[in-house]
Structure 1
Amino acid sequence: MSAEPDNEAVAAGLRRQLADQLEKGGWLRSREWRSAVEVVARHVFVPRFYRESDGPGITRWEPVTQETVGREEWLRLVYTDATWMTQFDGRDIDWADPKPISNAAPTSSSTLPSLVVRMLEDLDVHDGMKVLEIGTGTGYSTALMCHRLGSGNVTSIETDEGVARQARAALAESGHTPHLLVGDGRAGDRGGAPYDRLIATCGFRNVPRAWLEQVVPGGVILTTLRGWMRSLGLVKLIVSGDSASGWFSEDDPSFMIARQQDGPESLGMIPGPDDGTKRKATYGPSVLTTSGPAFMAQLAAPDARFFSLPVDGGPVGTFVLDSVTDSFAVLTATDSGWQVRQGGPRRLWDAVESAVATWEKYGSPNRAAFGVTVSRDEQAVWLGNPNGPQWPLPS
């Protein structure tokens, strides 16, 4: 009777299959990064995780370990091109007795490998370059960079002490010794600067000034910009002295927002039934959830969030609340379309409709038509070119 193959032998085959899949999909484009995917053992970094259950109703997360699903299925899932959750609500999980989780917000994960390698390819590194990573997470992407560039050229910052501790242990088990820091990634790493490349694996509302100061002229900053309503998308910036500029990618990888920039607990004050002024709305609430218009709405109302509930005991309305300025817009259906009632220092729906109308005027382009310019004093997203229509990012 033949011996059952060990984890590493099975995992090595699964890594080759994953590399084949990522290469066929166009995510993996170079032999150096393919080598990293084939060598770095993702199962060391994701020994236990949660997956979303298929049941109806409220979102429920089920624990996945060797014990709960069996070794073979566990390894198969680890090397699937999928994102696996590893923390909820900023609290460590008791893996001695893991339970299903619901009514919780994921706060750390192992991102799907296709997105990880796509970003690493876009980072355009070369031998000898120094890279600063914002958001260590499980440490898997950190390990890929260590394999490609050497541990001495990789620094990674994680905001959560428990997550950082687990990543440090996994990296050590894998034979990697990057410089690991626990802190606010917005501050970067002044002591290790300058860096040739900076990559952020969480979303930011703007580009921290420290990053501009710590990346060399001609260097690359690769980060996801996002707001409190939605992700704006992945942007690749080229640093030039005290400024940087670049373009969004066409697709929309949506990372969790950096904890230091998460929205305040309070959504803001719900307006009374007689507050504000009314007018007929050109656009209804669907613009907040439809990809292109929602991108524009996020630009136009960077401090807003939205939700739906019955208005004054009547039909459901959509509330758009700005907790920074206490501005509001309330959308309700009428026989002939939509009505908006808005008030406060900013006319939120006026701003949203203006941005969506501009987008339509320019042919309803995808994200790749938009760019970003960042300086010490201001940051803006623009359409077409830096002299085109602009929307400031929140400071």
Structure 2
Amino acid sequence: MNEQDLRQQLLDHLTADGSVRSAQWKEAVAVTARHEFLGGGFFRQVHGSVPTAWEPVMPGDEGWLSGCYTDVSLVTQIAGTIVPGDIHGRILRQPTSSSTLPGLVVRMLEDLEVEDGMRVLEIGTGTGYSTALLCHRLGDDLVTSVEVDPVVATAAATTLATLGHAPDLVTGDGLAGHKDGAPYDRVIATCGVLTIPGQWIAQTRPGGQILAAVCGWMHSSELARLTVHDDGSATGRLLGGQVSFMLARPHQPPPLGMLPNTDGGTERDTTIDASILDDWTARFVAQTAAPAAQRLDLGDRGQLLLDTDAGSWALLQPGRRGWRVRQGGPERLWDLVEDHLQRWLHDGSPSQDQFRITITPDGHHTYTWPHAR
């Protein structure tokens, strides 16, 4: 199948599954060649590898062109510097940059609710594919895109120029936004964040919107759409769908280092089955209670919640009559998580698309959900 047919096939798929909902974005997808943004190749996960191994797929290789037009995310960088052309064979390091699956890219652009004449700030240029879609929809002069990695930024700028696009491309910390182009009508982020940066709110005009994935170190995340207000606050809701993005580099969790000695601390029965943390929404609730905690699955030994900076930990283990927890450090992590989960369960375990988010002018984030009647 040739490139034109593959592009049409992708568009048909995105239309059928509801990712593309408007004529403007349908046209943008139809004319934007995703393979041009993957000219440096991508990494393909080696099936069945433990730990996960990656192998390069380069232009001309079997599966490269069809892969470019598959509705999946494609890893384009590993370990912060390694690109597909650097590798012959396999690599066992962590991905650090990718081309997000087109369905999620377009869904987010639809959810951004842009109108003609609006100025948009994009956080995370990446390959430049989503930037090109924005340029086609709004015009180059209304699009500003920030990318932290200079190598990634240069590659995106080259491809965009080749396709005739000239948006305002900035190399720098996306968490700081780009105040020189402010105020913006819309801000959209293609990386995950623990909290919405105050700079994004300050650089969005009152009545403008921010769309970003709010995430946590227990690996649950969701898209949040926020409206900015005159007093510097922002309110909105989560959109649902269990999306997942790579966290912005400054928001990555600290290294775990040596695990704590869990023989000490205090022990008690839990009021909630700790396996509830296998549920995506339950983990999101847990993150709001203990945002600095990471979760480790210890197999038969149970689950460990660990705040490495504070030194707090909670070891959860199944017993004969339910789960027990042993906690140590300055904070009782499971007490915090258990309290939030109890309230969420009492209110009927509402789904994430029922969650509201409020950010005060001083940056405090609060998540709420409907109370059970």
TM bracket, shorter-chain basis: over 0.9
* Cα distance change, pair 378–189 in 1 and its aligned pair in 2 (3 A): closer
Q: 1:277 aligns with which of 243, 256, 266?
A: 266
* Cα distance change, pair 97–326 in 1 and its aligned pair in 2 (3 A): closer
- 8 Å Cα contact 1:244-1:375 kept in structure 2: yes
Aligned to 2:345: 360
The answer to which of 140-149 and 316-325 deviates more is 316-325
| Aligned structure 1 segments of 4 or more residues deviating by more than 4 angstroms | none
Q: State the 1:292 CA deviation.
A: 2.3
Aligned to 2:221: 232
- Within 2, Cα distance between the matches of 1:384 and 1:319? 27
TM-score, reference length from structure 2: 0.94
Give 3-state SS (helix, strand or coil) of 1:66's partner.
Answer: coil
Aligned to 1:393: none
* Cα distance change, pair 162–98 in 1 and its aligned pair in 2 (3 A): farther
Aligned to 1:31: 23
Q: 2:197 aligns with which of 196, 201, 208?
A: 208
- Indicate the percent of aligned positions where both proteins have the same amino acid: 46
- Within 1, Cα distance between the matches of 2:333 and 2:268? 13
> 1:311-390 residue pairs with structure 2 within 5 A?
316-384=301-369
Aligned to 2:66: 76
Q: State the 1:324 CA deviation.
A: 3.0
Q: 2:89 aligns with which of 94, 99, 112?
A: 99
Q: 2:245 aligns with which of 236, 249, 255?
A: 255
Aligned to 1:175: 164
1:124 has 2:116 as partner: no
- 8 Å Cα contact 1:235-1:246 kept in structure 2: yes
Q: 2:208 aligns with which of 214, 219, 233?
A: 219
- 8 Å Cα contact 2:122-2:131 kept in structure 1: yes
1:178-210 per-position Cα deviation (integer Å, ceiling 9, x unaligned): 111111111111111011100000011111111
Give 3-state SS (helix, strand or coil) of 2:240's partner.
Answer: coil
Q: State the 1:283 CA deviation.
A: 2.7
- Within 2, Cα distance between the matches of 1:260 and 1:29? 34
- 8 Å Cα contact 1:184-1:260 kept in structure 2: no
- Within 2, Cα distance between the matches of 1:31 and 1:94? 35
- 8 Å Cα contact 2:267-2:324 kept in structure 1: yes
- What is the aligned length? 370
Q: State the 1:56 CA deviation.
A: 4.5
> 1:14-163 residue pairs with structure 2 within 5 A?
14-47=6-39, 48-69=41-62, 73-93=63-83, 95=85, 97-102=87-92, 104-163=93-152
Q: State the 1:269 CA deviation.
A: 5.1
1:332-382 per-position Cα deviation (integer Å, ceiling 9, x unaligned): 222222211112222111111111111111111110111111122143233
- Where do 5+ consecutive residues of structure 1 fail to align? 390-395
- Within 2, Cα distance between the matches of 1:151 and 1:138? 16
The answer to which of 228-237 and 130-139 deviates more is 228-237
- Within 1, Cα distance between the matches of 2:34 and 2:302? 45
- Within 2, Cα distance between the matches of 1:272 and 1:20? 54
- 8 Å Cα contact 1:269-1:326 kept in structure 2: no
Which letter maps to 2:130?
S
- Within 1, Cα distance between the matches of 2:325 and 2:87? 50
- Within 2, Cα distance between the matches of 1:98 and 1:56? 17
- Where do 5+ consecutive residues of structure 2 fail to align? none
- 8 Å Cα contact 1:12-1:39 kept in structure 2: no
TM-score, reference length from structure 1: 0.89
Q: State the 1:64 CA deviation.
A: 1.2
- Within 2, Cα distance between the matches of 1:231 and 1:272? 25
Which letter maps to 1:13?
D
- 8 Å Cα contact 2:55-2:87 kept in structure 1: no
Which letter maps to 1:95?
G
The answer to which of 371-380 and 25-34 deviates more is 371-380
- Within 2, Cα distance between the matches of 1:272 and 1:57? 28
- Within 2, Cα distance between the matches of 1:272 and 1:335? 20
Which letter maps to 1:331?
L
Q: 1:289 aligns with which of 258, 270, 278?
A: 278
Give 3-state SS (helix, strand or coil) of 1:67's partner.
Answer: coil
The answer to which of 293-302 and 52-61 deviates more is 52-61
Which letter maps to 1:54?
H
- Within 2, Cα distance between the matches of 1:213 and 1:346? 33
Give 3-state SS (helix, strand or coil) of 2:118's partner.
Answer: coil
- Within 1, Cα distance between the matches of 2:88 and 2:144? 32
Q: State the 1:43 CA deviation.
A: 0.4
